[in-house]
């Protein structure tokens, strides 16, 4: 492995449990993957698949009642799960940045955006208030906010959704992080703004070498942005693949169904007014997951062997959690 | 005088719904002593919807598409304009006089959590419209409820249950059953699948199509998801800052948009194919505020074809384009080129 492809983040066997009134359930189950330095990795899944919980576990920002029960989260060589809380706090926002879906709830409405950028910069770097303010203007300029020297004194409600998300990214990139975790960063935005924001992540990667871990439900965004894709279903990674191969020949029946669902409703209009392909049923509730393969009740190719836990089968840099792959050898 | 037969023929040709020069202004207070200013959420919109047709209304958030949908149903009172439904002008009618039309015109909402009363059982939610419009009485009410639930793919077991017991997709089915229970001929669908996961979305889209075929319902389909719009709609209207800037048959609008904004919007849609390099048309800046909209064409500050004269001074009218039938565009410099 050469220097540039050494992973910035390596997760091995991460498991997280949630305590509910009806017992303890696994929201994240034995998740392993890596994010290469300056790489672009996407974690895709539908709601309730556990993708956000995976990110929160890595950042150690889970709610009380949620417990990380196993795994190693190696960030630039150190296991985040073994760090003390104050060490962790030092990493978050500097080396390890995050951008969330709803910029209005992540920003403090009582403070100007400049103050919030300065606050983050000064928490991690020894610079004066004046220098920090100057840097805040620079950052706002870099994320494409027009007239940054006046906008630095604006309050979040005075900015549009796209502008607020840019401010969030300015805060996140302030300390030149090695990894940016972006949880549905474009979901609340319009398509024309969505493209601008994704371009911004690409630009930050090129200029600062920041790796991006994108969490999304939108396969269209994944196709245009990521290099490597992980598909999550009911708490588990079910497929891991470079992006081209994933869309060209998805291995797992769930990925196949998802891609079929999405490409059937494309703007190219090849399937107008026809009936759409369906995935029967819905994601099993965390409290009532089926035994064996969790996709089994919805899978068109389910058979007896699927009652057992499916193996993780790896082939040529790709992998999937499905018994069908180990059965038929090409 | 024309005879009854000619009258009948014009009845058939007449669209189900005609919206004429509709505007909605919202008063925006500007400080304690300031003069109130107005936001033009919907600005001089004219459109029609034919029987059993789907007209899609697309545009980015804040363009006024939801306000327009609600004005048509008079859930929001329009400031100016006429709404003609089956030949009858609804705009001057009182709420009481509107009631028979409410049976004809229904709505389903985006958020299947907020749009169902959590304290009502599913059976009562669906039966409410039937009771109000006296479409059935006694035990017939529940027979109708069961029938309409069945048509949206829900079994009779759900009648006694509450909304919180259901998934988002099932709640959307309940919302559809409530609308269908009074047998409308026109339905506003306001982002009906935006809150749903892709694997659930397909079920609801198929259902909407089936219902249109069986019951001949016309839809005004409001959505920002252009893939869904192309799949489902017959005609598409593109809105920008309260105005319709392009309207035409869906295939024509998607394969050969004339308005620069339509082109930019379409080019921005992410395509689920990593091997197709997308040529995104990047727009400068953001949508201006409807409180102080730009002069002339509302799109001119962001438009690559802005000529600095006509575009800045005069609002272009919706004009018929030479190619295609009934494809109209509001632009001084329309550019017909396939995408």
Q: How do strand A228-233 and strand A40-44 relate by DSSP bridges?
A: parallel
pLDDT higher than threshold 60 for residue B265: yes
Answer whether residue A285 is part of any domain.
yes
Q: A300: exposed, middle or buried (C-beta count within 10 Å: 0-12, 13-18, 19+)?
A: exposed
- The answer, for B312 touching chain A at a CB cutoff of 8 Å, is no
**pLDDT (0 to 100) of residue A5:** 59
Total number of domains in chain A? 1
Give how far Cα A239 sits from Cα of A231, A281, A323, A325, Å.
Answer: 5, 20, 12, 12
Residue with structure tokens 């703007």?
A267
- What 8-state DSSP symbol labels residue A92? B
Please state, in angstroms and rounded to a whole number, the distance separating the CA atoms of residues A191 and A186. Answer: 8
Whole-angstrom distance, CA of residue B218 vs CA of residue B206: 15
Does residue B251 sit at the A interface (CB-CB below 8 Å)? yes
> What residues are paired with B221 via a beta bridge?
B56, B189
B111 touches chain A (CB under 8 A): no
Share of chain B above pLDDT 90, in %: 70
Residue B286 has its nearest CB partner, among A160, A266, A273, at: A160
Q: Does residue A139 fall inside a structural domain?
A: no
Q: How many helices (H) does chain B have, and how many strands (E)?
A: 11, 12
Query: ipTM beyond 0.90?
Result: no
Q: How far apart are CA B207 and CA B204, in angstroms?
A: 5
pLDDT digits (tens, 9 = 90+) for B120-173: 999 999 999 999 999 998 899 999 999 999 999 999 999 999 999 888 889 999
In a domain, residue A289? The reply is: yes
Tell me whether strands A96-99 and A7-20 are parallel, antiparallel or unpaired. unpaired
> pLDDT by residue (tens digit) across B16-26?
999 999 999 99
Distance separating alpha carbons of residues A36 and B111, to the nearest angstrom: 38
Give the pLDDT score at A47.
84
Q: Which residues of A15-39 are buried (b: 16+ CB within 10 A; e: fewer)?
A: bbbbeeeeeebbbbbbbbbbbbbbb
Distance between CA B56 and CA B220 in Å, rounded? 6
Q: State how far residue A51 is from chain B, nearest Cα, in angstroms.
A: 14
Q: Is B208 on the interface with A (CB under 8 A)?
A: no
- Asked if residue B339 has pLDDT above 70, the reply is no
Contact (CB<8Å) B199/A257: yes
Q: What is the mean pLDDT of residues B55-80?
A: 94
**E strand or H helix at B320:** strand B319-320
pLDDT band at A328 (very low <50, low <70, confident <90, very high): low
Give the domain extent around A232. 3-95+175-327
CB atoms A223 and B197 under 8 Å: no
Strand pairing class (A236-242; B17-28): unpaired
Residue B280 forms contact with A (CB below 8 Å): yes
Query: For residues A152 and A133, is the Cβ–Cβ distance under 8 A?
Result: yes
Residues of chain A contacting B269 with CB distance shorter than 8 Å: 191, 220, 267
Interchain proximity A267–B167, CB inside 8 Å: no
The percentage of chain A sitting over the pLDDT mark of 90, rounded to a whole number, equals 66
pLDDT bucket at B1, cuts 50 / 70 / 90: very low
**Rounded to the nearest 5 degrees, what angle is found at the Cα of B54, between the Cα atoms of B48 and B58?**
80
Give the confidence band of B11 by pLDDT, cuts at 50, 70, 90: low
Direct distance between the N- and C-terminal alpha carbons of chain A, in angstroms, rounded to an integer: 29
Q: Pick the more confident residue, A134 or B198.
A: A134
**Is-contact B198 A218, C-beta < 8 A?**
no
- Say if the Cβ atoms of B251 and A269 lie within 8 Å: yes
For A250-291, how does the pLDDT look when each residue is reduced to its tens digit (9 = 90+)? 999 999 999 988 887 777 766 666 778 777 777 777 888 888
The CA distance from B323 to B252, in Å, is 9
How much is the average pLDDT of A23-43? 95
Question: Do B230 and A269 make contact, defined as CB atoms within 8 angstroms?
Answer: yes
pLDDT tens-digit series, residues A152-193? 999 998 888 888 989 999 999 999 999 999 999 988 788 888
Backbone angles phi, psi at B55, to 5 degrees: -105, 120
Contact status, residue A114 vs residue A148, Cβ threshold 8 Å = no
More confident residue, A314 or B61: A314
- Nearest chain B CA: its distance from A152 CA (Å): 17
At residue B76, the 3 state secondary structure works out as: coil
Identity of the residue in A47, A192, A278 whose CB atom sits nearest the CB atom of B60: A192
- Whether residue B205 and residue A261 make contact (CB cut-off 8 A), yes or no, is no
Arithmetic mean of pLDDT over chain A: 90
Burial code (b: 16+ CB inside 10 Å, e: under 16) for B152-181 equals bbbeeebbeeebeebbbbbbbbbbbbbbbb
Reported as a single tens digit per residue, the pLDDT across B97-121 is 999 999 999 999 987 778 899 999 9
Contacts of B125 (CB under 8 A, 6+ apart): B116, B117, B163, B174, B178
CA neighbor of B235 nearest in space, from B217, B207, B254: B254
**d(Cα B108, Cα B112) in Å, to the nearest integer?**
9
Q: Is residue A16 part of a domain?
A: yes
- Of A252, A226, A253, the C-alpha closest to A314 is A252
| A297 within a domain of the structure (yes/no) | yes
Q: CATH number of the domain that A56 lies in?
A: 3.40.50.300
Cα–Cα distance measured from residue A247 to residue B273, given in angstroms and rounded to the nearest whole number = 7
Match 């193996």 to its residue by tokens.
A311
Q: Is A236 among the domain residues?
A: yes
* Domain assignment present for A64: yes
Q: Is residue A232 packed enough to be buried (19+ CB in 10 Å), middle (13-18) or exposed (0-12)? A: buried
Strands (E), chain A: 7-20, 23-36, 40-44, 66-75, 78-79, 96-99, 179-183, 211-216, 228-233, 236-242, 312-315, 318-321
């Amino acid at each position: 492995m050469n220097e540039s492809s050494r992973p910035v983040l390596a997760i091995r066997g991460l498991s997280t449990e949630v305590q509910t009134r009806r017992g303890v359930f696994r929201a994240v189950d034995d998740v392993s993957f890596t994010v290469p330095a300056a790489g672009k990795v996407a974690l895709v899944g539908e709601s309730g698949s556990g993708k956000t919980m995976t990110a929160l576990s890595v950042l150690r920002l889970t709610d009380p009642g949620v417990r990380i029960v196993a795994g190693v989260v190696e960030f630039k060589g150190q296991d985040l799960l073994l760090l003390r809380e104050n060490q962790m706090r030092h990493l978050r926002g500097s080396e390890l940045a995050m951008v969330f879906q709803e910029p209005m709830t992540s920003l403090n409405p009582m403070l100007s955006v400049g103050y919030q950028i300065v606050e983050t910069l000064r928490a991690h770097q020894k610079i004066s208030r004046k220098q920090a303010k100057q840097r805040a203007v620079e950052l706002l300029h870099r994320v494409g906010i027009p007239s940054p020297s006046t906008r630095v004194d604006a309050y979040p409600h005075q900015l549009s959704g796209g502008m607020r998300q840019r401010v969030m990214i300015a805060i996140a990139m302030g300390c030149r992080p090695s990894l940016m975790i972006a949880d549905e960063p474009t979901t609340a935005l319009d398509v024309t703004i969505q493209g601008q924001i994704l371009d911004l992540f690409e630009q930050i990667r090129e200029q600062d070498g920041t790796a991006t871990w994108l969490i999304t439900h939108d396969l269209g965004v994944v196709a245009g942005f990521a290099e490597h894709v992980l598909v999550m279903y009911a708490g588990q990674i079910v497929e891991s693949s470079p992006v081209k191969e994933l869309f060209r020949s998805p291995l797992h029946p769930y990925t196949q169904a998802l891609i079929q669902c999405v490409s059937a409703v494309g703007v190219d209009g090849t399937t107008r007014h026809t009936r759409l392909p369906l995935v029967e049923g819905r994601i099993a509730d965390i409290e009532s997951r089926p035994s064996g393969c969790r996709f089994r009740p919805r899978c068109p190719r389910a058979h007896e062997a699927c009652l057992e836990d499916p193996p993780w089968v790896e082939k040529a840099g790709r992998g999937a959690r499905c018994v069908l792959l180990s059965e038929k050898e090409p | 005088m024309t005879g009854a037969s000619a009258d009948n023929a014009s009845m058939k040709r007449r669209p189900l719904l005609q919206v004429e020069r509709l505007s909605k202004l919202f008063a925006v207070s500007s400080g304690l002593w300031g003069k109130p200013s107005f936001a033009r959420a919907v600005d001089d919109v004219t459109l029609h919807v034919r029987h059993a047709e789907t007209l899609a209304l697309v545009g980015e958030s804040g363009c006024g598409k939801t306000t327009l949908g609600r004005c048509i149903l008079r859930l929001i009172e329009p400031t100016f304009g006429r709404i003609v439904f089956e030949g009858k002008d609804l705009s001057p009618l009182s709420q009481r006089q509107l009631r028979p039309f409410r049976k004809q015109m229904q709505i389903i909402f985006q958020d299947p959590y907020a749009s169902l009363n959590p304290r009502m059982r599913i059976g009562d939610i669906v039966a409410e419209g039937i009771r109000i419009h006296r479409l059935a009485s006694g035990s017939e009410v529940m027979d109708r409820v069961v029938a309409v639930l069945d048509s949206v793919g829900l079994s009779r077991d759900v009648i006694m249950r509450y909304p919180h017991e259901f998934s988002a997709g099932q709640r959307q089915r309940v919302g559809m059953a409530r609308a269908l229970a009074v047998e409308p001929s026109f339905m506003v669908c306001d982002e009906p699948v935006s809150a749903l996961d892709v694997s659930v979305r397909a079920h609801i889209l198929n259902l909407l199509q089936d219902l249109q075929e069986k019951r001949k319902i016309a839809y005004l389909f409001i959505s920002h998801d252009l893939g869904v719009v192309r799949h489902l709609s017959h005609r598409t209207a593109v809105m920008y800052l309260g105005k319709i800037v392009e309207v035409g048959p869906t295939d024509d609008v998607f394969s050969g948009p004339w308005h620069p904004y339509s082109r930019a919007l379409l080019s921005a849609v992410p395509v689920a194919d990593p091997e197709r390099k997308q040529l995104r048309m990047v727009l400068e800046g953001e949508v201006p505020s409807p409180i102080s909209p730009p002069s002339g064409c509302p799109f001119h500050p962001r438009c690559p074809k802005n000529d600095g004269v006509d575009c800045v001074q005069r609002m272009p009218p919706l004009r018929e384009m030479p190619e295609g039938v009934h494809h109209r565009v509001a632009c001084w410099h329309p550019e017909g080129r396939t995408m």
